[in-house]
Structure 1
Amino acid sequence: MTQIIPNLAEISSRYDALFCDLWGCVHDGIRAFPEAVAALRAYRAEGGTVVLLTNAPRPRAGVETQIGKLGIPGDAWDVIATSGDSARAAMLRGVVGQNLYFIGEDRDQTFFAPMEMIEDAVEISQVPLSEAEGIVCTGPFDPLADPATYRADFLDAKTRGLKLLCANPDIVVDRGDSREWCAGALAALYTEMGGESLYFGKPHPPIYDLARARLRQIGKPTPDDRILAIGDGIRTDIEGGMGENIDTLFITGGLARAETGTDSQPTPAALAAFLEEAKMSPTYSIGFLR
């Protein structure tokens, strides 16, 4: 049974580091949540370390720039680990080939930038689907369009045995009041059609390995029993944390706000029903990070 807590400070002394999700927890894609920023600042002021662990399909430098524009200051976090970086490392090692068909928005072309940590990286070329050895997906061309529009292309790709590298396992995100499709929705469709999708963000292990590596890089190696994973995605943040044997804090006012009856806090009965259906048991739950 999850424990509903009033604020992060109630439990923060039990943990030396946070793996904190961004979208839905610290911002809504348009602006930062002031109470969440204050909570992270207070945690760091007490000596805690904050890893922003995000399924953003881009390099961490781009995420840093983005969150700064949204109003998340540098003193609210220590280091960033992105599913984009985790997936980029795999791509540059050649896991889906060298001639790749890219599905994503123009802003995500940074996905193909070199990475210093990868030695002997393969030379990647972007080609039409008909010439591709594999697919890289950072998200739909149009995040509001039904993923089913990709069925024809995916049938061709599946028939030729192409692997799809998914740089963001999220299915949807809420940008303000608008719900948008993510790369995870396309990867799920491709898998459903019989294709092979490779995932590198939450809830899959590679991004957690990257987050631990980031902690070591800044001189803050932390045992798993002193890490708390925070997020609003029951199938990404919570399932991933549980899979890594890391305690979890479920932000119910994000993607599952309606299902959990969250106003300021979740409705206990609605939360219990939601978690029972999801077969998930986060260590703690709270309406919003504060």
Structure 2
Amino acid sequence: MPVPTGPTPGLAALAQSYPAILSDVWGVVHNGIEPHWSAVEALVRYREAGGRVVLITNAPRPAPPIFEQLDAMGVPREAYDGLVTSGDATRELLENWRGRTVARVGPLVDDVLFDGLDLTFGSDAEATAVVVSDLDTDNDTPADYTDRMAIWRSRDLPLICANPDKVVEEGDRIVYCGGALADAYEDIGGRVMMAGKPYNPIYALSKSVLHEAGGRRFDHSEILAIGDSVRTDAVGAAQFGVDLLFITGSIHAAELDAFNNPPAKRVSDLVSVSRANMVGFMPRLVW
């Protein structure tokens, strides 16, 4: 498809070219507090027209609690066929640490990530790896972990990041995620391991769920990725080999002036570093 010269009027303009969608969740379907109802409607109508939707999110918990979160927000199951999380992909990675001691960073709500993995939580001084689901609180910044990172680096501990997102929108503010801490650790020479977007494990899982939902195998040319992050969604789409519909009105909203009809070149220039084939963009997903 040609490079967009302006905002895409709606998902309907692309739907006939793509029978399957891999859609981001936080920043596309909701903002962490409430749904973006136009996006929910768009996905419902796309599925009513025969399309298949798998939600693909860097949430650090396995899928069941995220299903519950979406239910509690009022996002109907009619909006999607399946859901794959970074937590799902990270659990497969953590199997390599079964029976060992790890240090952790992240809120207690993410403890479900570790269920049944036979891991022991310990101090930075005794751990064999550090598992980061997110920062401990939404008010934390990576700088708050400077002293801990120095210990991890001195012991050459790998940091396993269950949420590669650097930031997300939460209501009307932007908060740091696990990926920001992973970046800071890499900056001082630390080793980082991730399985969520933009890395292959989460896409391999998502493609399997998509094939099951559709009852057939989808070629990459038939799959449209929808996301709001250059770093995770756009890079992930490029590496997985699928086209991208970019949502400008989330974490990149300020730099793009997303809700005031930014020039297509400004959006293209931002996304171009990912090498993604962007076939459309819009501030919020609409039908």
Shorter-chain TM-score category? over 0.9
1:243 aligns with 2:245: no
Partner Cα distance (1:197, 1:251) in 2: 28
Of the three residues 90, 100, 103, the one matched with 2:102 is 100
User: TM-score, normalising length from structure 1?
Assistant: 0.92
Contact 2:244 2:276 in 1 (8 A): no
Partner Cα distance (2:247, 2:54) in 1: 17
SS of equivalent to 1:150:
helix
SS of equivalent to 2:21:
strand
Of the three residues 108, 126, 135, the one matched with 1:131 is 126
1:164 aligns with 2:145: no
Partner of 1:253: 249
Partner Cα distance (1:280, 1:227) in 2: 13
User: What one-letter code is carried by the residue in structure 2 that aligns with 1:112?
Assistant: F
Partner of 1:117: none
SS of equivalent to 1:102:
strand
After the TM superposition, which residues 278-289 of structure 1 pair with which residues of structure 2 at under 5 Å, given as runs?
281-289=277-285
Change (3 A) 1:112 1:278: closer
Partner Cα distance (2:159, 2:42) in 1: 38
SS of equivalent to 1:93:
helix
Q: Note the C-alpha offset of 1:17.
A: 1.0
Contact 2:3 2:279 in 1 (8 A): yes
Partner of 1:61: 64
Structure 1 unaligned segments of length 5 or more: list them. Answer: 115-121
Partner Cα distance (1:164, 1:145) in 2: 18
Partner of 1:2: 3
Of the three residues 195, 205, 210, the one matched with 2:205 is 210
RMSD value, Cα? 1.8
After the TM superposition, which residues 9-28 of structure 1 pair with which residues of structure 2 at under 5 Å, given as runs?
9-28=12-31
Structure 2 unaligned segments of length 5 or more: list them. Answer: none
Partner Cα distance (1:264, 1:221) in 2: 40
Partner Cα distance (1:276, 1:227) in 2: 20
Partner of 2:187: 192
Contact 1:266 1:287 in 2 (8 A): no
Partner of 1:154: 149
Number of residue pairs matched?
282
Contact 1:158 1:195 in 2 (8 A): yes
Q: Note the C-alpha offset of 1:216.
A: 3.4
User: What one-letter code is carried by the residue in structure 1 that aligns with 2:128?
Assistant: E
